[in-house]
């Protein structure tokens, strides 16, 4: 993957995630959840995480950024279908571990997602960002991303589904 930022940071290696990355990816998911003040919300088991990415019917794909052989960031997405817009990339998680921020790693990952979305012919790319996460909002502003107001998240937990 050629990129001007990559040339300026030769120790950063970007690649597609493999099953063996899953333990580290979940460590970073937990770091993200702690940052987002919701560590108790991460309940996925490693087996489910691995199966969802690398089982018979994988539903997600991720790019990882490595420095010195250690995964220091990743961007995980899946295909979402919008009845209004068609197939879109949904960015589920995007994190660079705190000590590695400010080195262009996030830009490398996000730019790779844009390339992938274009190659796959997606009608766009969507994600969520917390309204208080100023660093993330500032990052997305550099891409002129539209941040919509007025939509509220709704969900049913596994327990709620089972109890219905």
Sheet holding 86-96, edge to edge: 12-16, 61-67, 70-82, 86-96, 125-127
Q: Are 43 and 34 in contact (CB under 8 A)?
A: no
> From the candidates 35, 63, 78, 140, which is the catalytic residue?
140
**Rounded distance between C-alpha atoms, residue 32 and residue 28, angstroms:** 6
- The reply to whether 78 belongs to the active site is no
Contacts of 157 (CB under 8 A, 6+ apart): none
Q: Give the residue numbers marked as catalytic.
A: 140
């Amino acid at each position: 993957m050629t990129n001007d930022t990559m040339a300026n940071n030769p120790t950063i290696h970007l690649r597609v995630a493999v099953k063996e990355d899953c333990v580290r990816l979940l460590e970073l998911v937990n770091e993200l959840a702690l940052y987002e003040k919701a560590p108790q919300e991460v309940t996925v088991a490693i087996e489910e995480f691995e199966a969802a990415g690398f089982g018979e019917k994988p539903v997600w794909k991720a790019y990882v950024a490595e420095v010195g052989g250690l995964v220091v960031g990743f961007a995980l997405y899946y295909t979402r279908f919008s009845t209004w817009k068609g197939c879109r990339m949904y960015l589920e998680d995007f994190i660079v571990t705190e000590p590695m921020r400010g080195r262009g790693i996030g830009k490398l990952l996000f730019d790779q997602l844009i390339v992938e979305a274009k190659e796959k012919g997606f009608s766009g790319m969507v994600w969520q960002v917390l309204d208080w996460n100023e660093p993330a909002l500032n990052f997305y502003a550099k891409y002129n991303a539209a941040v919509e107001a007025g939509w509220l998240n709704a969900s049913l937990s596994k327990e709620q589904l089972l109890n219905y």
